[in-house]
Amino acid sequence: MTKVKGKIPPLTSLEGLRALALRQHEEIRRLIALSDRDFLTRLLSRRGFDREVGIVLAQMQMQTRATHKRRDVPKNLSVVFIDIDNFKWYNDSFGHACGDEVLEKFSVFLQQHFRSTDYLCRWSGDEFMLGLVGASYAQAERSVEQFMRTLEKKRVVLRCAKNAKKNKKPQAIVVRASFGIASVYDPSRRRPVFDMRRLVDQADAHMYEQKHRRKIMWKR
């Protein structure tokens, strides 16, 4: 194309620009997916949790074969799977922006309750995963149950709901969640479990058992 002095050359192809914008958008999405942090809550992403907790599990497994035990390696670790109850209702009632606000505030509550040495993760959608370092099953259960009791006493104010469905004031709601726990060393098992997938699957199964029991109780 011949350039005209003093003038900006015309765009060659609108379709080309659209394709470029699409590629850039997909690249951004890929980088976010690869990030160790969740873009909304700033908790660990699934990838970040797998990496960080995977390192701890590997250290714990090596410790079982070591002659000299390291003091900085935890004696136990509990994985907690948390799922916000009836999350779809927030999206349907107030819009997806309010659903995001619920996730953000729930994440803040997690950070306020659990230790800075614990691993807090937004696993997927309205699901969260915790890695409680050094906690036995019983200790993790006490800590999470205390968190749930505190959570139910809080009134979560959804400021985004002020403009949703003609609400004139921010909506105050109670957020509830179900959880399941799996520990590396568990008295109910003969051997420890150092495999991340097995721990996550066990915690997930226990969470759904609790959710199912609660639904039965609500129907009575």
Q: Given this model, what pLDDT does residue 68 score? A: 77
Structure tokens at 154: 């809080």
Does residue 77 sit within a domain? yes
Q: What is the pTM of this model?
A: 0.79
- The three-point CA angle 35-39-44 to 5° equals 60
Does residue 8 sit within a domain? no
Does residue 90 sit within a domain? yes
- Structural domain for 116, as ranges: 36-219
Instruction: Say if CB 177 and CB 86 are below 8 A apart.
Output: no
Instruction: Say if CB 98 and CB 160 are below 8 A apart.
Output: yes
Q: Given this model, what pLDDT does residue 161 score? A: 59
Q: Given this model, what pLDDT does residue 9 score? A: 46
Structure tokens at 171: 């909506």
Beta strands in 88-183 (DSSP E): 119-124, 127-133, 156-158, 171-173, 177-183
Q: Given this model, what pLDDT does residue 131 score? A: 98
* Neighbour tally for 135: CB within 10 Å: 27
What CATH number does the domain containing 163 carry? 3.30.70.270
Does residue 67 sit within a domain? yes
Does residue 117 sit within a domain? yes
Does residue 30 sit within a domain? no
What is the total count of domains within the chain?
1
Q: Given this model, what pLDDT does residue 166 score? A: 57
Q: Write out the chain's pLDDT in tens, 220 residues.
A: 455 555 444 456 777 777 788 888 788 767 766 689 999 999 999 999 999 999 999 999 999 988 778 888 999 999 999 999 999 998 888 888 889 999 999 999 999 999 999 999 999 999 999 999 999 999 999 999 999 999 989 888 777 755 555 555 667 888 999 999 999 999 888 999 999 999 999 999 999 998 888 776 666 5
Q: Which of 117, 132, 218 is nearest to 179 (CA)?
A: 132
Q: Given this model, what pLDDT does residue 8 score? A: 45
Does residue 187 sit within a domain? yes
Does residue 42 sit within a domain? yes
